[in-house]
Amino acid sequence: MRFKGLDLNLLVALDALLDEGSVTRAAERLYLSQPAASAALARLREWFGDPLLSPHGKRMVPTPYALRLKPMLKSVLAEMEVLIGQPTHFAPETERRRVRVCTSDYITSVVLAPLSLRLADLAPGIALEVVPPDDNAADLLDRGEIDLLIVPAEWVSLDHPARPLLEERHVVAGWDRNPLFEAGIDEAAFTQAGHVTVRIGRLARLSFAEAQLRARGITRREEVVVPGFAQVPPLLVGTQRLSVMHERLARAAAAHYPIAFAPLPFAMPPMRETVQYHRARANDPALLWLLDRLNEAVMQGDGPRLS
C-alpha cells in the first residue's frame, strides 16, 4: 500500500529499525531476511533524505532527524492499528482479542483475578496478558505494545488518557503470632522491627509506600527486599518482621497465610491507582467496555475497611 508514493510497509520497518538499533534484530522482529531489512533502510534513507541510523560501535543510533520522527511514527502506527482493527459491531460474547495489561502483582491479585472470572462468562474470547511493571512501562504504552497501564497516579504519563481506578490505604502486616500485634504497634516498635520491603523494576524504584516513608524520614531495618508485593506474606510467617502492605492485598493474603494487619502508627495519604491507555484507542469500544468491567471488579472486591 502506498501513500503519496511511500510504501507504508516501510514505516513499520522504520519503527523496528529505530527501536532495535540493528538491521539484524529488526529483520528478526519483522520476519525478514537481513538483506531485505537493509534494502528497506536504504529506501527509507532515500525517501527522507537522511541517514536515519548511524554506526556507533556495535550499534546503530538514530540521527537527530530520526529522533524527531520517532514519536510521530509511533502515534501514526498506533492509530493505523486501531483503524484497521475497528470492528463494525462490538459484541463481548464474540470478541476475540488479547489485552496486554502492564501492572503490579498487587493489582493482578485484587483486581485482575476477579475480572478474569467475569470475563470467562461475559467475554470468553478476551484474554488477559499481564506484563510486570518495568522502568520503561511508559515507553511500552507509547509504542502500543501494551493496551493498559495501571500504576499509581504519580507515575502516569501526561501524553495519554487516564482514568482513576481505586484508592488504597496501607496497613502494617506481620505474622499473626508476632507479639508486636498484641502489644500494639507504635512508631518506635515499627521502626525498630525488621521489615520486608519491595523494590520495583531493574532500577529498584521505590513503591508508593516506600517513597512516602522516605518523605517522612522514617527508616527501618530491611531484612528482606523482594521485587513483588505478593512475595511479602510468606516471608512474614514465623518471624517478627513487619511490612507495609496494601489493605486489599493484606485482606486477601490473610485468607491464605497466618498473617495479621493493623493501621499504620502514623498518617499516610491514600494511594490512587490509575488506568491509562493509548490516546489512539480512546474510542476503542472493546477497550472502553473492559475499562467499565475493571471498575466493577474494583467495586465488587471492596471489603470492610479497618476502623
Closest CA to 151 of 170, 142, 138, 169: 138
For residues 265 and 185, the answer to whether their CB atoms sit within 8 Å is yes
- Give the model's pLDDT for residue 111: 94
Cell numbers 500485634 correspond to what residue?
A: 181
Mean pLDDT along residues 156-162 = 88
Measured distance CA(238)–CA(256) in Å, rounded: 14
CA neighbours closer than 13 Å in the CB half-sphere of residue 82:
20
pLDDT in tens, 46-104: 988 999 999 887 788 999 999 988 888 887 887 777 666 666 677 899 888 899 999 99
- Give the model's pLDDT for residue 271: 95
pLDDT in tens, 161-215: 999 999 999 999 999 999 999 888 999 999 999 999 998 876 567 889 989 999 9
- Give the model's pLDDT for residue 143: 77
Res 287 pLDDT > 50: yes
Q: Please state the pTM of the whole predicted model.
A: 0.72
Tell me the range of 21-25, 179-183, 234-238 where mean pLDDT is highest. Answer: 234-238
* Lowest mean per-residue pLDDT among 142-156, 185-199, 225-239: 142-156
Domains of the chain, first to last? 2-84 (1.10.10.10), 97-162+274-301 (3.40.190.10), 170-263 (3.40.190.10)
Phi first, then psi, for residue 25 (nearest 5°) are: -70, -35
- Give the model's pLDDT for residue 306: 42
Concatenated DSSP letters of the chain: -EETTEETHHHHHHHHHHHHS-HHHHHHHHT--HHHHHHHHHHHHHHHTS--EEEETTEEEE-HHHHHHHHHHHHHHHHHHHHHH--SS--TTT--EEEEEE--HHHIIIIIHHHHHHHHHH-TTEEEEEE---TTHHHHHHTTS-SEEEEEGGG--TTS-EEEEEEE-EEEEEETT-HHHHH---HHHHHHSEEEEEEETTTTEEPHHHHHHHHHT---EEEEEES-GGGHHHHHTTS--EEEEEHHHHHHHHTTS-EEEEE-SS--PPEEEEEE--GGGTT-HHHHHHHHHHHHHHHHH--PPP-
